[in-house]
Amino acid sequence: MREDKLSFEDFKDYVTGHIKEFLPDQYTEAEIHVGEVMKKDYSYQGMKIIRPGDRIVPTINLDMYYSDYISSRNPDIILKHIASFMEENTIPDIIIPDLSDYEAIKESLFIQICDRDSNMKYLTDIPHRETDGLAVTSHILFQNENGNNDQISSTPVTKEMLKSWGITEEQLAEDARNNSAKILPAKYAPLEGILAIMSSNDEVHMPDSENLEDSISMIIVTNEAQVQGASAMFYDGLMDRLSDMAGCDLYILPSSKHEVIVLPEKMVEDYHGLEDIVYQVNSTIVDKKDWLSDHVYHYDAKDKILERAETHEQRLSQKKKEKDSQTKEQKEEVRSGNKKPEKRSVLDRLNEKKAQVAGHSKTNERHRASEVSI
């Protein structure tokens, strides 16, 4: 056992140079690749051990194993753990469509969302649409050959793919959003109901009534897979339906990437208190890789706008200022006598013209009568 700890670079070289000694014989001809792996919200140095014929292999997080090594273990123990991981964590066989053919993958598209600011590097090569701090990305869902969809395997759509398909970002975003609702339907229920689903897999359905103001309180929104389900709030019509049931606008709490909590606006006195709760939960409970946002969002059902609660507040304040300013100008015009004449409606002009025609007709009748008498 070495007394001096290896640097990360030396640790990486040691692992890649000795890992085959701990693996079965079928890994003799395997190639080892190490590089940066970009994930939403974080990145790490990943190692892949690829045997001839392997299509998909697990990626080993060397950053995680290095932390383990620094804490208490010598490198050979780490290598044994990596070898055990490789033997026990085989990736299920999946059906990979022809990624060069857009029509072949179009019905496998779905959307995910992430925080824009903390994923700027990741989003550099990923087509996305932004909504007030959130980035909506498009992904390709792979089906398992055995038909078991308990695990979701996917890959993000890159700008290179988009260019090869010859379509616009707008079309990609629309197709992915529309298809998401088909392959990963939204699931939403009262808080206690969705927790029952997650713990026991019992089927729980929301009532279909559109007049549920008295029973709608906190609703968790996710998808049937309960993976990356926060994106369901971008499904067409979903926020409108929940708003109709609640009888008011909505506040959305991003509890994680996998679900959001929706509250009727009329139940909330001050959204700032909700942001404090979201921040505390994110800081103490939510895993870093599942974190979505510390901001509370608002859905304006009348204007069909999903935005941060603070943005909504500012927008309403600006509207009020503009209305107050317009009212003040109108009062000043009336007071100074310089008020411009109001624009007459089409009906007013027609009535005026009708009166003119009627008066002209009476004059002609008098003139025609005098002509007869001569």
* pLDDT tens digits along 217-227: 789 999 988 88
pLDDT > 70: percent of the chain: 76
Side chain identity, residue 139: H
Reported as a single tens digit per residue, the pLDDT across 185-200 is 999 888 765 455 445 5
- Residue 348's pLDDT is 59
Neighbours of 252 (CB within 10 A): 25
- Residue 133's pLDDT is 95
Residue 333, token pair as written in the block: 């015009």
Reported as a single tens digit per residue, the pLDDT across 2-30 is 457 889 999 999 999 999 999 988 888 89
Reported as a single tens digit per residue, the pLDDT across 35-45 is 888 776 678 89
Residues 6+ apart with CB under 8 A from 123: 116, 135, 137
pLDDT (mean) for 39-55: 81
The rounded distance, in Å, linking the Cα atoms of 291 and 41 is 8
- Residue 293's pLDDT is 94
Contact assessment for residue 138 and residue 157, using Cβ atoms and an 8 Å cutoff:
yes
What is the value of pTM for the model shown? Answer: 0.68
Most confident of 18-27, 172-181, 338-347: 172-181
Distance of CA 90 to the CA centre of its chain: 30
The rounded distance, in Å, linking the Cα atoms of 273 and 111 is 30
- Residue 99's pLDDT is 83
Whether the CA torsion 288, 290, 292, 297 is positive or negative: it is negative
Distance of CA 288 to the CA centre of its chain: 17
Residues 6+ apart with CB under 8 A from 41: 114, 115, 118, 119, 288, 289, 291
Distance of CA 270 to the CA centre of its chain: 24
Closest to 215 (Cα-Cα) out of 258, 245, 176, 241? 245
pLDDT (mean) for 285-308: 93
- Residue 54 or 346, more confident: 54
DSSP 283-332: HHTS-GGG---SS-EEEETTTTEEEEHHHHHHHHHHHHHHHHHHHHHHHH
- Please state the domain extents for the chain: 8-91, 95-183, 186-314
Residue 281 exposed, middle or buried by CB count within 10 Å (0-12, 13-18, 19+): middle
What mean pLDDT, rounded, does the chain reach?
Answer: 81
Is 70 exceeded by the pLDDT of residue 305?
yes
DSSP 151: S
- Residue 368's pLDDT is 35
